[in-house]
Chains A and B, each alone.
Chain A
């Protein structure tokens, strides 16, 4: 992906993050994700209907990279089954860890394909994935 396009996508998702809001609804699974090494701290709310992710909302304090990464992640995971979502997360982790991954599977999240070059921002990009992975794995165990 061209660097200018990457920038635009990140900026757009930072300035107008998707579903940055909180909802009062017990049907949503809640999970917090924060980085020990920095101050990013977000809460995710996930609604799963018959094994499929039907909504994700987030709120909190986060830098441009974390905010954009969360916004992009939410859009990419919507309507995926839990196991499809976990596969997506797995591919994303492989990408940021410089392992083998299939770039056809990652959609807009590809904007972070060279984030590993900035070691101190890798944790920002992976922040939402850390939280949602935990929540989805627990869901899978219980269902």
Chain B
């Protein structure tokens, strides 16, 4: 779909690493260039026309994000540098104050590093405990397993909505309902879900949602922290400085601005945020449901072909997202990736930042294909043709 919109796709390249980052359509690049070319002023200084325009464009993106994830108000949308910063901001600025010795933080072994390591440090500093939900045979979270792990001490459940190696979609709505019955906060890492499906934070009822622009056709260096307003109000800013203070006259009396500016100290990534806005408009035009439906179709096609190759082991056969992790028998994943690279096919090899997943799957490294709407069945055919010849893989892996 929409391949002609992407300058990168004019190269002779098959890009299957969309879980790492996505390509950018021309409209996003143009929108950012337009800022640097035509109204390159700072935000929040509307004393002159071009600065006023910056404010308008920048704040307009907040509205776009609000509608995109159906937040209740624009105060609930904070711009960050990416999902990693969003997660760290709430771990340090909110949960640091709201967790006590002996409390329990529930995650899984298939989370990405950025939804693991910040919790490790918090648990260490606060003498809290990390608990892992037991995954089923398809490496998925079930409500039964979640129910089993919750205790009166559970304070936080932090989960990716879609994981980045297994690609399973978690039942976040049900998880939130159960969690809130027990006064447990739910943090959702939306890095692999928001770019690929309609995400409605009010319907899910999650407390926080974090995601990055660059995985959804937007620029690098920009992300979003969504939080329910009453919770965001309690988040301690990790950065203090310009733009976020109302006034200060001596060292003890600093009055901060209201949300969300309070959490965005310093000159923001203006071009990046404006680029994110263009990306959202672009995705909306195609329609998130269309994107999701098409990606599922592509995945089914890919799986049906991969399954026929006897020496290929698919790690996440039963997941529903466009992420497929596999290994070729007796060939190191990186050698497979190098082999495919000879034919300009980009797949990622490794542990994909999910370093504790190996104890669940028994597999340390995999090749990962992560699809997006601009991939095609023809591209998959080319991949399958190359993988279907093991002699060729061995002969050409170095």
Which residues on A are within 8 Å of B, measured CB to CB?
A: 10, 38-40, 61-65, 67, 120-121
Assembled-state Cα–Cα distance A39/B338 (Å): 13
26 interchain pairs, CB-CB under 8 A: A10-B398, A38-B334, A38-B349, A38-B350, A39-B334, A39-B349, A39-B351, A39-B365, A40-B334, A61-B332, A61-B364, A61-B365, A62-B332, A63-B334, A63-B335, A63-B338, A64-B332, A64-B335, A64-B397, A64-B398, A65-B398, A67-B332, A120-B338, A120-B341, A121-B338, A121-B398
Closest to B397 in A: A64
* A39, A120, A121 pick with most chain B CB within 10 angstroms: A39
Assembled-state Cα–Cα distance A30/B365 (Å): 24
Closest to A68 in B: B398
Assembled-state Cα–Cα distance A61/B204 (Å): 41
Asked if B192 is an interface residue, CB under 8 A from chain A, the answer is: no
Residues of B within 8 A of A120 (CB): 338, 341
Assembled-state Cα–Cα distance A121/B337 (Å): 12
Shortest Cβ gap from A13 to chain B (Å): 11
Range class of the B interface residue count: 10 to 19
**A interface footprint on B312-343 (CB within 8 Å = 1, 0 otherwise):** 00000000000000000000111100100100
Shortest Cβ gap from B342 to chain A (Å): 10
Residues of B within 8 A of A39 (CB): 333-334, 349-351, 365
Assembled-state Cα–Cα distance A120/B349 (Å): 13
Residues of A within 8 A of B338 (CB): 63, 120-121
Residues of B within 8 A of A10 (CB): 398
Assembled-state Cα–Cα distance A95/B86 (Å): 45
Please report which residues of chain B, range 339-363, place their CB below 8 angstroms from some CB of chain A when the two chains form the complex. 341, 349-351
Residues of B within 8 A of A65 (CB): 398
Residues of B within 8 A of A67 (CB): 332
Assembled-state Cα–Cα distance A30/B101 (Å): 38
Assembled-state Cα–Cα distance A67/B350 (Å): 16
Shortest Cβ gap from A113 to chain B (Å): 14
Closest to A14 in B: B398
**A interface footprint on B24-65 (CB within 8 Å = 1, 0 otherwise):** 000000000000000000000000000000000000000000
Assembled-state Cα–Cα distance A104/B350 (Å): 37
Residues of A within 8 A of B365 (CB): 39, 61
Assembled-state Cα–Cα distance A121/B341 (Å): 12
Assembled-state Cα–Cα distance A49/B239 (Å): 56
Closest to B330 in A: A15
Shortest Cβ gap from A6 to chain B (Å): 10
Residues of B within 8 A of A40 (CB): 334
Residues of A within 8 A of B335 (CB): 63-64
Residues of B within 8 A of A63 (CB): 332, 334-335, 338, 398
Assembled-state Cα–Cα distance A62/B364 (Å): 12
Assembled-state Cα–Cα distance A25/B341 (Å): 41
Assembled-state Cα–Cα distance A76/B335 (Å): 25
* B334, B335, B351, B397 pick with most chain A CB within 10 angstroms: B334
Closest to B336 in A: A63
* A10, A61, A62 pick with most chain B CB within 10 angstroms: A61
* B332, B333, B350, B365 pick with most chain A CB within 10 angstroms: B332
Assembled-state Cα–Cα distance A10/B396 (Å): 12
Shortest Cβ gap from A115 to chain B (Å): 9
Shortest Cβ gap from B390 to chain A (Å): 14
Residues of A within 8 A of B398 (CB): 10, 63-65, 121
Residues of B within 8 A of A64 (CB): 332, 335, 397-398
